[in-house]
C-alpha cells in the first residue's frame, strides 16, 4: 500500500492519493490493517447504567451487544448465537436477565455464559456448555468509562494506545464536578455518501469554517458573537487556535473559545436567565480546579480525533461521534450528546439546545459539512485524471506553530494511516 | 369559534404544503403564530421531550426564523441547489383540545429530490398545535415524527420537513 501518501519535506508538499478514498481494495485492506488492529469505540458506560441493561449496535461492521452483567461489569459480545448464528439480541436497547436466541432457544446470561439449551440430552458427552458462551472481542477496555474493543489480542493496552488523547478526554470530563459524563438519550444515526476518512479530516479542519459555515457564522453573529478575525492578525478565525499531534495517530484542535459554550461562555441564544447559572458553573470550576485549569476547561475548546474513527467535539456542546465505512464512498455515523451526570434540568436543556446550534443532521453547520464531503466524493470520480489531494498547509512552519487552520494535525492522521497500511502488507 | 372542522384544518395543511414545496418560506412564516416551534424528534425516541433528549431539530420561534434565513441563503451548501420536495398529507384527525389550542395529527409522505442523488422518502406523522388568531387558524407548534428507525439513508433534514 505504499505510494498513497507522499511527504516531500524539502518542497514542503504533502499529497494524498485519492485512490485511498475510492478503492474497494483499499477499504478491504483497511478492515485488517486499521479496524482489525486499532482500538475501536463501542460506547459509554452510562448507556447501560443498571445490571441487565443492553444496547445493540454495529461496530466495525460487526453487530455487537454492549451490556452490563448482573455483577455490574460492562461487557461486549458479538451478537451471534454459538449454535447456528442468529443474532441473540434483536432489540435496540432494554433491560434483560437473559439473551435468548429466537431460532432454537439457546439462552445466555448477561455475562455471556450459555445458560440453557432446549433438549440438551440430545448432545453427546463432548458438548461443553462452559465453552459455548457468547464470544467477546479479543480485548475490551475502558478509559474513564469510554469503552473500546480491539480485535487483535496482542494490542497494546488502551491507556497506552490513547497516548496524548487522554489529557484531552480529561479536559472534557473535568466539566463534571464528579468526573462523570453521561450519554444523553437520543442518538443521531445517519449516512454520509463519502469515504469515512473524509469525516476525520473535516472534524478537525478549521480552515473550512469561514467558507463552509457562512450561515452558521451569520447565526452566531446575530447572537452577539464576534466572528471576524482581529485586524492584521493574519488569522482566518477570531482566535488563534492550534492543531496538535497527540501521538499514535490521535490529533486535536486546541482553540481559545469564541463561540457560545454551555460551560462558561454565555450568548444571547441561551436567554437572560441563563447568565447567572453559567457564572455559577464557572465559579464551581474555579473552586474545584483552580483558575488556570478552569480556564483550560471552559475557555478553550477542542475537536479531538482518537485514531481511527471516533471524534469528540467539545465546542458548542459535547458530542461523541463514530463512523464506519459501509462502502468506499459511504459511511454510517452514530453521534451522541454528552453532559455532566449531575447537571440540573435547566443546564441539560441548555446543553441540548446549544448542541443544535451547530451539530447534527438538522443543525446549523453539520449539514453543510455533509454537503461538502459528498461534493468531494463526487469530485473523486475524476481520481484517475486528478489523482492527488494537497495537505501542505503549514509545512513552512515548525510543529509547535501549526494553527487549527493549517493541516499539520490532518497530516498526523494520514501518516499513521499510511504506516499501518504499510505494516500490514 | 374556538374549535375547527377537519376541512378547515386540511385547507391549512394543503396551503402549508404548497408554500413549503415552493420554497415560499417567508409567506409560510405567516401561517405560524409568533411563538411557534418546530420539532423533529430523534428516530429512536420519537415521543421524547427536547429538554432532556437530543432531537434532530428543536427550534423555538427565534431559531425557526433563523433557520428560514439560513436555508434561503445561497451559501447554505446543504440546500444549494435546493431540494425539490413534494409532500402528500392524509389521515387528518383532530385529536383533542388544550384550552384554546386544537391538537391535530396527520400522516405525511415527503419525496425529496436533488440533482445527482437518489430520491429520498420521508414518511411519518405530523402532530400540530393550532390556535385561532383574529379568526384565522394558525400553527402554534409543528412536530414531524419520522417512522424510519434511523435517519440512515435519508441523511440530513436540511429542508423544512
What residue ranges define each of the domains in chain B, with the CATH number in brackets?
Answer: 6-154 (3.10.450.50)
Q: Dihedral of the CA atoms A141, B44, A333, A90 (nearest 10)? A: 60
CATH of domain A40-150: 2.102.10.10
Q: Residue B2 — very low, low, confident or very high, per pLDDT cuts 50/70/90?
A: low
A219 and B152 within 8 Å at the Cβ level: the answer is no
Q: Is the pLDDT of residue A330 over 80?
A: yes
* Shortest alpha-carbon distance between residue B111 and chain A (Å): 17
Which segments within B46-135 are labelled E, that is strand? Answer: 57-59, 84-98, 101-113, 120-133
pLDDT of residue A1: 47
Query: In this complex, is the C-beta atom of A225 within 8 Å of any C-beta atom belonging to chain B?
Result: no
How far is the C-alpha of B10 from the C-alpha of B27, rounded, in Å?
18
* Domain chopping of chain A, boundaries: 40-150, 163-423
Least confident of A92-106, A263-277, B39-53: A263-277
Average pLDDT over residues A376-388: 98
Average pLDDT over residues A208-230: 92
* Shortest alpha-carbon distance between residue B46 and chain A (Å): 9
Q: Residue A261 — very low, low, confident or very high, per pLDDT cuts 50/70/90?
A: confident
Picking from A186, A216, A334, A356 by the largest number of B CB atoms within 10 A of its own CB, the best residue to mutate is: A186
CATH of domain A163-423: 3.90.380.10
Using an 8 Å CB-CB cutoff, list chain B residues near A371: 77-78, 80, 156, 158
Using an 8 Å CB-CB cutoff, list chain A residues near B43: 189
Using an 8 Å CB-CB cutoff, list chain A residues near B117: 193
Q: Is the pLDDT of residue A150 over 70?
A: yes
A172 CB burial (10 A radius; 0-12, 13-18, 19+): buried
A349 and B75 within 8 Å at the Cβ level: the answer is no
Long-range contacts at A282-288 (CB < 8 A, ≥ 24 apart): A284/A177, A285/A174, A285/A175, A288/A177
Picking from A371, A378, A380, A381 by the largest number of B CB atoms within 10 A of its own CB, the best residue to mutate is: A371
For all residues of chain A together, what is the average pLDDT?
95
Q: Residue A412 — very low, low, confident or very high, per pLDDT cuts 50/70/90?
A: very high
Amino acid at each position: 500500500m505504499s505510494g498513497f501518501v507522499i511527504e516531500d519535506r524539502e518542497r514542503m508538499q504533502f499529497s494524498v492519493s485519492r485512490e485511498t478514498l475510492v478503492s474497494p481494495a483499499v477499504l478491504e485492506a483497511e478492515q485488517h490493517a486499521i479496524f482489525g488492529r486499532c482500538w475501536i469505540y463501542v460506547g459509554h458506560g452510562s448507556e447501560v447504567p443498571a445490571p441487565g441493561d443492553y444496547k445493540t449496535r454495529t461496530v466495525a461492521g460487526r453487530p455487537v451487544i454492549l451490556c452490563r452483567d448482573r455483577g455490574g461489569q460492562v461487557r461486549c459480545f458479538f451478537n451471534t448465537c454459538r449454535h447456528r448464528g442468529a443474532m441473540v439480541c434483536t432489540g435496540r436497547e432494554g433491560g434483560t436477565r437473559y439473551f435468548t436466541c429466537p431460532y432454537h432457544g439457546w439462552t445466555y446470561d448477561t455475562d455471556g455464559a450459555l445458560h440453557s439449551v432446549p433438549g440438551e440430552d440430545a448432545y453427546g458427552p463432548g458438548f461443553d456448555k462452559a465453552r459455548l458462551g457468547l464470544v467477546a472481542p479479543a480485548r475490551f477496555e475502558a478509559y474513564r468509562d469510554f469503552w473500546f474493543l480491539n480485535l487483535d489480542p496482542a494490542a497494546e493496552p488502551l491507556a497506552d494506545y490513547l497516548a496524548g488523547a487522554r489529557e484531552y478526554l480529561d479536559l472534557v470530563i473535568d466539566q463534571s464536578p464528579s468526573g462523570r459524563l453521561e450519554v444523553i438519550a437520543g442518538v443521531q444515526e445517519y449516512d454520509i455518501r463519502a469515504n469515512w476518512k473524509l469525516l476525520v479530516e473535516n472534524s478537525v479542519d478549521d480552515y473550512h469554517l469561514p467558507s463552509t459555515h457562512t450561515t452558521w457564522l451569520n447565526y452566531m453573529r446575530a447572537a452577539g458573537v464576534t466572528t471576524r478575525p482581529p485586524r492584521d492578525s493574519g488569522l482566518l478565525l477570531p482566535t488563534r487556535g492550534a492543531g496538535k499531534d497527540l501521538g499514535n495517530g490521535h490529533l486535536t484542535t486546541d482553540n481559545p473559545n469564541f463561540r457560545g459554550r454551555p460551560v462558561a461562555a454565555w450568548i444571547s441564544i441561551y436567554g437572560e436567565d441563563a447568565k447567572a447559572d453559567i457564572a455559577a458553573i464557572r465559579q464551581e470550576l474555579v473552586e474545584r480546579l483552580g483558575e488556570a485549569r478552569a480556564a483550560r476547561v471552559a475557555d478553550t475548546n477542542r475537536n479531538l480525533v482518537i485514531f481511527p474513527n471516533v471524534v469528540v467535539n467539545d465546542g458548542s456542546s459535547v458530542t461523541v461521534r463514530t463512523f464506519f465505512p459501509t462502502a468506499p464512498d459511504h459511511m454510517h455515523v452514530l453521534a451522541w450528546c454528552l453532559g455532566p451526570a449531575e447537571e440540573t434540568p435547566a443546564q441539560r436543556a441548555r446543553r441540548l439546545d446549544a448542541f443544535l446550534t451547530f451539530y447534527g443532521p438538522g443543525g446549523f453547520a453539520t449539514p453543510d459539512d455533509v454537503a461538502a464531503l459528498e461534493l468531494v466524493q463526487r469530485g473523486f470520480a475524476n481520481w484517475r485524471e486528478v489523482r492527488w489531494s494537497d495537505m501542505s498547509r503549514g509545512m513552512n512552519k515548525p510543529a509547535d506553530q501549526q494553527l487549527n487552520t493549517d493541516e499539520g494535525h490532518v497530516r498526523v492522521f494520514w501518516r499513521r494511516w499510511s504506516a499501518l497500511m504499510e505494516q500490514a502488507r | 369559534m374556538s374549535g375547527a372542522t377537519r376541512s378547515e384544518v386540511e385547507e391549512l395543511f394543503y396551503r402549508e404544503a404548497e408554500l413549503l414545496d415552493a420554497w415560499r418560506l417567508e409567506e409560510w412564516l405567516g401561517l405560524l403564530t409568533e411563538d411557534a416551534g418546530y420539532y423533529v424528534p430523534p428516530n429512536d425516541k420519537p415521543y421524547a421531550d427536547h429538554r432532556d433528549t437530543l432531537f434532530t431539530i428543536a427550534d423555538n420561534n427565534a431559531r425557526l426564523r433563523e433557520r428560514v434565513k439560513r436555508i434561503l441563503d445561497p451559501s447554505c451548501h446543504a440546500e444549494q441547489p435546493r431540494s425539490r420536495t413534494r409532500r402528500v398529507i392524509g389521515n387528518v384527525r383532530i385529536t383533542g383540545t388544550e384550552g384554546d389550542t386544537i391538537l391535530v395529527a396527520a400522516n405525511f409522505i415527503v419525496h425529496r429530490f436533488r440533482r445527482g442523488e437518489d430520491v429520498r422518502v420521508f414518511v411519518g406523522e405530523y402532530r400540530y398545535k393550532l390556535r385561532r388568531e383574529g379568526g384565522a387558524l394558525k400553527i402554534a407548534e409543528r412536530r414531524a415524527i419520522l417512522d424510519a428507525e434511523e435517519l440512515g439513508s435519508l441523511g440530513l433534514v436540511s429542508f423544512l420537513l
